[in-house]
Amino acid sequence: MDLRPGGANEVAQSCRFVMAMKHEPAILIFSRHAMPTLDRTHLAPASEVAKGAYVLKDPSGGKPEVILMANGSEVSLCLEACEALENEGKKVRVVRVPS
């Protein structure tokens, strides 16, 4: 299993997940880029990283028109794109794919 955490909270959760593994090989792949620590107030918790992929942000009020997927340092870029699209009236889902 390979995990590409998208910020400090996911680094901690990824380490917990990997340390609990007994017999499976795993690698944590970190970005060289500075990444912001995500404010999880309106986002899914970092503990969801154990699922392999999860919905980080869902649109309020209905089905998404656009789905953005990211891992590692691209997560914050996707959230910025999500905000820009929402400002244009689009309903956007952001999916985290750490593995």
Domain boundaries, the chain: 2-33+41-96
Name which residue leads in pLDDT, 29 or 92.
92
Contact indicator for 33, 73 with CB cutoff of 8 Å: yes
Work out the pLDDT band at 5, boundaries 50, 70, 90.
confident
Structure pTM?
0.82
pLDDT one-digit tens code per residue, 49-86: 888 889 999 998 889 999 999 988 888 999 999 999 99
Q: What is the largest CA-CA distance in the chain?
A: 48
CA atoms within 13 A on the CB side of 39: 4
